[in-house]
Amino acid sequence: MIIYICEETEMFSEQYSESFGQLQKMFIRVAEGQHTLYLSDPEEVLDSDFFKRGVAPMHEEEWKEMVQRSAYASDRENWTIDPDSVTEKIHARLSTYERATDERCLWHLFPSEVGNWAEMPLNVLMENRRDWSVIEAAIRETKGRA
């Protein structure tokens, strides 16, 4: 899942320190490749209380590299070529604001819940039992390639 983060200045500050454990869980899942992270301002995260406390789930240099790779283009041109594609629509928005909505988001997450959400197992909804053979074949073919 793509996780789009806004308001890094606020979210990674001392004000939200009670959510640092949840943010850490999310970053662990991102580091493991379970999710893709897009930050509007990676430098804010690197200068944050979250980073200074050593809450990051890896060594400092690895953490810096991961955060810097998470930068995205504001216009989302790096996300997808076609703005109506599935990739554009399947993402979660992590925000501190109640009203931060985006019609393309599947989830709006708060810092206090993002870690538990990131650790949830993936569920696949299928139309009928025959769809399972396609999913099973895809799993068999991609096993060991990750």
Can you give the residue range of the structural domain that contains 21? 2-121
Q: What would the pLDDT profile of 30-54 be if each residue is shown by its tens digit?
A: 888 888 888 878 888 888 888 888 6
Per 3-state DSSP, the chain is made up of helix, strand and coil in percentages (nearest 5) of 40, 10, 45
135 assigned to some structural domain: no
Residue 35's pLDDT is 84
Share of the chain above pLDDT 70, in %: 72
Q: Does any domain span residue 91?
A: yes
**Do the domain assignments include residue 127?**
no
Is the entire prediction scored with pTM above 0.75?
A: no
In-domain check, residue 138: no
Task: Decide if 72 is inside a domain.
Answer: yes
Lowest model confidence (mean pLDDT) among 29-43, 82-96, 131-145: 82-96
103 domain residue, yes or no = yes
Residue 141 lies in a domain: no
Number of domains comprising the chain:
1
Please report the pLDDT score of residue 74 as a whole number.
46
**Rounded CA gap, 26 and 20, in Å?**
10
Asked if residue 85 has pLDDT above 60, the reply is: no
Task: Answer whether residue 82 is part of any domain.
Answer: yes
